[in-house]
Structure 1
Amino acid sequence: MTAFNSLLKQGPARQGLLICFLLICLDQITKQTVLMQISEIDRIAVLPILDFVLIWNTGISYGLFDSSGMAGRIILSVLGLLITLFLLVQMVRATGKWERLGYCLIIGGAIGNIIDRVIYGGVIDFISFHYENYYWYVFNLADVWISLGVVTILLDSFFLSGKTTDEA
């Protein structure tokens, strides 16, 4: 554990944790705003292709593996925390700026959704893109962070592969 603590004292790891914290805060602020402003029957048109709605996702990505019971809630929360701890170690070990940012995005999004699951029993989703009668899945900022994080890590590994180290 002391080795992990010494890694956290280093600048890039500290910056990574700060980014994670800011992403979690932004995600939670938007979700709390939605809870205060939108009921489950409301649909607020923001743009012709974008609405805000309140949807409770008790499963994982896109509502897969619905687990609205207490056992499912606990299993998904613990699994999410274990994966997040693994990603945190990867973030601390990352040598590239973009790779670290990717891990920060995924961690921030994962923790934002875990907080919802623990407190409410499901994740608060509210962003709904659509075109005419075709509606995409409803999601939240944490989902955006996770998706951007995966894309960032993939782009870093395929195109930058270590060219953005902290020393550069």
Structure 2
Amino acid sequence: MTDKLLQPSVPNQVRAYQRRWLMIAFAALVLDIITKAGVSALMPYGQSVPMTGFFNLVHTWNTGAAFSFLADGGGWQRYFFIVIAFAVSVWIALELRKPLPASQALAYSLILGGALGNAFDRLLRGHVVDYLDFHLGGWHWPAFNVADIAIVCGAALMVFSSLRQANDVSKEKTNE
């Protein structure tokens, strides 16, 4: 009887598995919040500080989505993007309760942390703070932040994971 008490139960293992992915999402969220707060506190809006020949630290706002999509929508887009971010976040949190391949769970975790980071910015500030500005030959990539990096890395990992799983299924069918 003592041995059964010392061995972790299956539900405890599942909760630890879920907690790991939620902690990664939380880490991405916290890093995003801290960096945006630092930029907002230390740099006036519109300031650009050249760091290298291809990178500036800037303080800019995005009222739209990726690449300033719908930025001039008149204000309604703020609430639209908040609702979308929270709906996606709830769906991802529910997905993370299921057993998933590690790459897929990591992808979901990064997307969750990034989506919540930008959603909280929209809730608290009415816009998303962006501060990373890469440029080359006078051409600037749209400024972005840690939340955006987490979302893009999560999406890329999701695509990679899906392609890898499809390749594994294809190999299994070939071997049959």
Structure-2-length-normalised TM-score: 0.82
Q: How far does residue 160 in structure 1 lie from its aligned partner after superposition?
A: 4.8
Alignment partner, residue 17 of structure 1 = 22
Determine which structure has more spread, i.e. the larger CA radius of gyration.
Answer: 2
1:138 pairs with one of 137, 143, 148? 143
Matched residue of 1:93: which SS? coil
Cα distance in 1 for partners of 2:26, 2:120 equals: 13
Structure-1-length-normalised TM-score: 0.85
Q: Is the 8 A contact 1:53 1:128 kept in 2?
A: yes
Between 41-50 and 121-130, report the one with greater CA deviation. Answer: 41-50
Opposite residue 32 of structure 2, the aligned amino acid is D
Opposite residue 76 of structure 1, the aligned amino acid is F
1:106 aligns with 2:123: no
1:30 aligns with 2:9: no
- What is the identity percentage for the equivalent residue pairs of Structure 1 and Structure 2? 27
RMSD: 2.1
Q: Is the 8 A contact 2:70 2:77 kept in 1?
A: no
Q: Is the 8 A contact 1:16 1:100 kept in 2?
A: yes
Alignment partner, residue 62 of structure 1 = 67
Opposite residue 100 of structure 2, the aligned amino acid is T
Q: How far does residue 128 in structure 1 lie from its aligned partner after superposition?
A: 0.3
Alignment partner, residue 80 of structure 1 = 85
Q: Is the 8 A contact 2:67 2:142 kept in 1?
A: yes
Q: Is the 8 A contact 1:7 1:13 kept in 2?
A: no
Alignment partner, residue 6 of structure 2 = none
Cα distance in 2 for partners of 1:59, 1:158 equals: 30
Q: Unpaired segments of 5 or more residues in structure 1?
A: 1-5, 164-168
Q: Unpaired segments of 5 or more residues in structure 2?
A: 1-10, 169-176
Q: How far does residue 8 in structure 1 lie from its aligned partner after superposition?
A: 10
Q: How far does residue 10 in structure 1 lie from its aligned partner after superposition?
A: 1.5
Q: Is the 8 A contact 1:43 1:53 kept in 2?
A: yes
Cα distance in 2 for partners of 1:73, 1:7 equals: 39
The superposition leaves residues 89-122 of structure 1 with CA deviations (integer Å, 9 ceiling, x where unpaired) of 2222242111100000000000000010000000
After superposition, the Cα gap between the structure-2 partners of 1:11 and 1:88, relative to the gap in structure 1 and judged at 3 Å, is same
| Poorly superposed stretches of 4+, deviation over 4 Å | 6-9, 160-163
Cα distance in 2 for partners of 1:10, 1:108 equals: 19
Q: How far does residue 149 in structure 1 lie from its aligned partner after superposition?
A: 0.2
